[in-house]
A and B are shown apart, each in its own frame.
Chain A
Amino acid sequence: MSFQFSWPFATEDNFYPKAKALLTEALNKGTKPPIIVDTIHVKDLNLGTKAPELEILEIGDLADDRFRGVFKLTYNGDAFMSLQTLVEANPLNIYSHLTPSFTSPKFLAANASVKIPLTITLSEITLSGIVILVFSKAKGATLVFRNDPLESIKISSTFDSIPAIARLIQSQIENQLRLLFREDLPAIIHKLSQRWTPNGSTHFSTTEKESAAPTSPRMKPVTLAEVNPDLPSLSPTNMVKLSLLSSSQQTLSLVTPVIPDAVYRSMIERHQERDDESKDDDDLSSIILRSRRNIKNGKVRPHRKVFDLRKKSHSSYDSSLAGTNPGPQPQAVKN
Chain B
Amino acid sequence: MHSYLEHILESFYAATNWNAENQYSNLTASSRELLDFSLPTGFILNVSALSSPASASSYSVKNLSGIVDGAISYFYCAPNNLLSSSRLSTDDVELTKVLCGYRPVKLPEAPEDPKYREIWLGGKRIDIKNTLLYGKLYLPNNILEAMYIRQLSPTDQIVISAVSDSRLRNGGTMMTQIQKNAGKWCSEFIYSTDEALLGLRGLYNFGFDSKLSESSSQSLLSAGGEIYYGVFNKAAGVSTGLRYATSSAYVSTPMTMTVTLNPIMGQLSATYAVKSTTNTTFASRLDFNAFSYESDLTLGCELWKRSPSNPTAVSEDLLKQPLQSEESLLPSEAVEKGQSERSTIEKDSREDTKTFVDEAVWKARVSTSSPTIKLLWEGRVKAFLFSLGAEIDVRPGQGVKTFGLELQYAS
A89 at interface by CB-CB < 8 Å: yes
Contact size range, A: 20 to 34
Q: Are B261 and A109 in contact (CB under 8 A)?
A: yes
Within the complex, which residue of B190, B233, B241 is in contact with A105, where a contact is CB–CB below 8 Å? B190
| A95-B197, A103-B194, A114-B289 known; A108 vs B226 contact (CB < 8 Å) | yes
Chain B 172-202 interface residues, beta-carbon cutoff 8 Å to A: 173-175, 177, 190, 192, 194-195, 197, 199
Q: Are A105 and B199 in contact (CB under 8 A)?
A: yes
Question: Which A-chain residue is minimally distant from B23 (CB atoms)?
Answer: A106
A114 to chain B, nearest CB (A): 5
B163 at interface by CB-CB < 8 Å: yes
Q: Are A103 and B163 in contact (CB under 8 A)?
A: yes
Q: Are B262 and A105 in contact (CB under 8 A)?
A: no
Dominant secondary structure at the B interface: strand
Question: Which A-chain residue is minimally distant from B233 (CB atoms)?
Answer: A91
Residues of A within 8 Å of B227, CB to CB, are 110
Q: Are B230 and A109 in contact (CB under 8 A)?
A: no
B2 to chain A, nearest CB (A): 15
Q: Are A110 and B239 in contact (CB under 8 A)?
A: yes
| A95-B230, A99-B194, A115-B294 known; A110 vs B238 contact (CB < 8 Å) | yes
Q: Are A92 and B162 in contact (CB under 8 A)?
A: no
Q: Are A107 and B228 in contact (CB under 8 A)?
A: yes
Q: Are B197 and A100 in contact (CB under 8 A)?
A: no
Q: Are B235 and A95 in contact (CB under 8 A)?
A: yes
Residues of B within 8 Å of A100, CB to CB, are 163, 165, 168, 173
Q: Are A99 and B292 in contact (CB under 8 A)?
A: no
Q: Are A116 and B233 in contact (CB under 8 A)?
A: no
Within the complex, which residue of B161, B175, B292 is in contact with A116, where a contact is CB–CB below 8 Å? B292
Residues of B within 8 Å of A194, CB to CB, are none
Question: Which A-chain residue is minimally distant from B266 (CB atoms)?
Answer: A114
| A100-B163, A108-B25 known; A115 vs B239 contact (CB < 8 Å) | no
Residues of A within 8 Å of B236, CB to CB, are 91-92
Q: Are A110 and B292 in contact (CB under 8 A)?
A: no
User: 0/1 per residue, A15-42, Cβ < 8 Å to B?
Assistant: 0000000000000000000000000000
B233 to chain A, nearest CB (A): 6
B269 at interface by CB-CB < 8 Å: yes
B120 at interface by CB-CB < 8 Å: no
Residues of A within 8 Å of B145, CB to CB, are 102
B237 at interface by CB-CB < 8 Å: yes
CA distance A94 to B190 in the complex (A): 18
B261 to chain A, nearest CB (A): 7
Within the complex, which residue of A92, A103, A109, A111 is in contact with B161, where a contact is CB–CB below 8 Å? A103
Residues of A within 8 Å of B241, CB to CB, are 108-109
CA distance A282 to B289 in the complex (A): 72
Q: Are B174 and A103 in contact (CB under 8 A)?
A: yes
Residues of B within 8 Å of A103, CB to CB, are 161-163, 173-175, 192, 194
Residues of B within 8 Å of A92, CB to CB, are 228, 230, 235-237
CA distance A319 to B226 in the complex (A): 63
B267 at interface by CB-CB < 8 Å: yes
Chain B 292-339 interface residues, beta-carbon cutoff 8 Å to A: 292, 294
Q: Are B228 and A102 in contact (CB under 8 A)?
A: no
Q: Are A109 and B163 in contact (CB under 8 A)?
A: no
Q: Are B27 and A89 in contact (CB under 8 A)?
A: no
Q: Are B262 and A110 in contact (CB under 8 A)?
A: yes
Chain A 86-142 interface residues, beta-carbon cutoff 8 Å to B: 89-92, 94-95, 98-100, 102-116
B291 at interface by CB-CB < 8 Å: yes
B265 at interface by CB-CB < 8 Å: yes
CA distance A110 to B265 in the complex (A): 8
CA distance A94 to B265 in the complex (A): 14
Q: Are A105 and B239 in contact (CB under 8 A)?
A: no
CA distance A100 to B291 in the complex (A): 29
Within the complex, which residue of A99, A106, A108, A110 is in contact with B173, where a contact is CB–CB below 8 Å? A99
CA distance A100 to B165 in the complex (A): 9
Q: Name 15 extra pairs, CB < 8 A, besides A92-B237, A110-B228.
A: A91-B230, A91-B233, A92-B236, A103-B194, A104-B192, A105-B25, A105-B190, A105-B197, A107-B226, A108-B241, A109-B260, A110-B226, A110-B227, A114-B292, A116-B292
Residues of chain B whose beta carbon lies under 8 Å from any beta carbon of chain A:
24-25, 27-28, 145, 147, 161-163, 165, 168, 173-175, 177, 190, 192, 194-195, 197, 199, 226-228, 230, 233-239, 241, 260-262, 264-267, 269, 289, 291-292, 294
